[in-house]
């Protein structure tokens, strides 16, 4: 028997990728797909890869209809948009996986500080479970509201958590992230990122005030048991998909490379979607493209006594829609890899 799922924000890259994955999920029936600005369009016209898979048209997001017809909703809206809709869905008995930022931060005061809005539904923040499955699997099982990690935090946390848990890191960490252009969304401010200007180009942005900083700090503190300060600098690189995070953490006690690798091996040995690279190979985004995998590795700079932790993932996969489907599986009691166990494209 299939669960009934609606996707809110289906015209964006994250929502469309969720639909792509759900189209192949054996226990899901897609019910409503909504879009704020492109209503009444066939999904397969917006996303030509979906021709022959999905015959739905985008609708306005009507909480009553979604509530009536859905067991679960995947919400993929810009920051500040889902907090107005999600409580309504929850109260109508729909479980929610929010791919956006509105329920990730537990402290409501962080929203005006990092996102320039005041949260209108702060009491749901306490209930929301942070949706990085590897960290909160047990709580996700029974959660009504799961707040999926941002694409950058997903990579940064999978890179860093084994070190934080081991208590070997100092309190200031640097996260340098490189993202494919789809991470900037389908219609970014200023007319998006035209090919001719984004090709042959690398640039940093939002330095040093990207909102994902707060989320990374929150979860590193939770993992390590203390306050952690993060300097986070995201970059855009000329590829469609993929994030590589290179994180730099000072060591408070000596850690040799073998012991460092063992932390990663142990942390991820039973994880279906995190591959710890223990040999000479370093993560690369292409090995994860189109998949739900995150590849991680660690190196030690012995001269500086800093660790360098690296993670690669597909920002639309483990960084967004794949993570959402993984949580859907956990929430619904399906085997966690259902509909997701696919290798990336290479080349």
Catalytic residue set: 151
Site for a second copy in 120-139 (CB under 8 A): none
Q: Which residues pair with 172 in a beta bridge?
A: 229
Q: Which of 35, 2, 17, 6 is nearest to 342 (CA)?
A: 17
Q: Which of 134, 127, 136 is nearest to 108 (CA)?
A: 127
Contact map string, positions 283 to 312, toward a second copy, x by CB under 8 A: xxxxxxxxx-x-x---xxx-xx-x-x-x-x
Q: How many CA atoms lie within 13 A of 135 on its CB side?
A: 29
CB 24, CB 38: distance < 8 Å: no
The residues, ordered by sequence, that sit 6+ positions from 151 with a Cβ below 8 Å of its Cβ are 179, 183, 243, 313, 315, 316, 319, 320
From the CB of residue 116, how many other CB atoms can be counted at a distance below 10 Å?
A: 10
Closer residue to a second copy, CB minimum distance, 143 or 312: 312
Contact map string, positions 174 to 203, toward a second copy, x by CB under 8 A: x-x-x-xxx---xx---xxxxxxxxxxxxx
Closer residue to a second copy, CB minimum distance, 65 or 282: 282
Closest distance of CB 281 from a second copy, Å: 7
What does the alpha-carbon distance between residue 141 and residue 149 come to, in Å, rounded to a whole number? 16
Closest distance of CB 262 from a second copy, Å: 18
What does the alpha-carbon distance between residue 132 and residue 52 come to, in Å, rounded to a whole number? 32
Among 26, 40, 258, 347, binds a second copy (CB under 8 A): 347
Closest distance of CB 232 from a second copy, Å: 9
Three-state DSSP class for 6? Answer: strand
Among 120, 240, 252, 259, binds a second copy (CB under 8 A): 240
Among 95, 104, 212, 275, binds a second copy (CB under 8 A): 275
Site for a second copy in 40-99 (CB under 8 A): 45, 47-53
Site for a second copy in 311-330 (CB under 8 A): 312, 316
Closest distance of CB 319 from a second copy, Å: 14
Among 13, 103, 152, 264, binds a second copy (CB under 8 A): 13
Closer residue to a second copy, CB minimum distance, 70 or 182: 182
Angle subtended by helix axes 133-142 and 151-165, to nearest 10: 110
Closest distance of CB 36 from a second copy, Å: 15
Position 227 contacts a second copy (CB under 8 A): no
**What is the dihedral sign for C-alpha 115, 120, 123, 129?**
negative
């Amino acid at each position: 028997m299939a669960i009934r799922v609606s996707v809110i924000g289906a015209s964006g890259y994250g929502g469309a990728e969720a639909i792509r994955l759900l189209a192949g999920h054996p226990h899901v029936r897609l019910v409503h797909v909504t879009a704020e600005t492109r209503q009444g369009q066939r999904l397969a016209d917006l996303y030509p890869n979906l021709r022959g898979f999905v015959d739905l048209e985008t609708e306005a997001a009507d909480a009553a209809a979604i509530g009536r017809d859905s067991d679960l909703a995947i919400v993929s809206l810009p920051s500040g948009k889902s907090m107005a809709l999600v409580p309504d869905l929850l109260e109508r008995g729909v479980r929610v996986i929010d791919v956006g930022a509105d329920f990730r931060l537990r402290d409501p005061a962080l929203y005006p500080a990092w996102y320039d809005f005041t949260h209108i539904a702060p009491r749901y923040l306490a209930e929301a479970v942070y949706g990085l499955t590897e960290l909160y699997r047990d709580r996700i099982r029974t959660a009504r509201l799961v707040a999926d990690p941002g694409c950058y935090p997903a990579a940064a946390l999978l890179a860093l958590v084994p070190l934080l848990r081991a208590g070997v890191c100092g309190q200031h960490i640097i996260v340098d992230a490189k993202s494919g252009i789809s991470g900037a969304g389908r219609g970014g401010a200023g007319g998006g990122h035209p090919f001719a200007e984004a090709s042959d180009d690398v640039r940093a942005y939002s330095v040093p005030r990207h909102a994902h900083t707060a989320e990374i700090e929150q979860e590193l503190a939770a993992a390590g048991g203390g306050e952690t300060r993060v300097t986070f600098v995201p970059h855009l690189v000329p590829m469609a998909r993929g994030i590589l995070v290179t994180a730099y953490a000072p060591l408070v006690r000596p850690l040799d490379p073998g012991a460092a690798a063992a932390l990663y091996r142990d942390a991820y040995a039973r994880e279906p979607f995190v591959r710890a690279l223990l040999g000479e190979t370093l993560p690369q985004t292409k090995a994860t493209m189109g998949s739900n995998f995150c590849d991680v590795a660690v190196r030690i700079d012995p001269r500086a006594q800093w660790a360098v932790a690296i993670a690669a993932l597909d920002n639309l996969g483990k960084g967004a829609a794949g993570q959402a489907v993984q949580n859907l599986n956990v929430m619904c009691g399906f085997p966690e890899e259902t509909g997701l166990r696919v290798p990336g494209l290479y080349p």
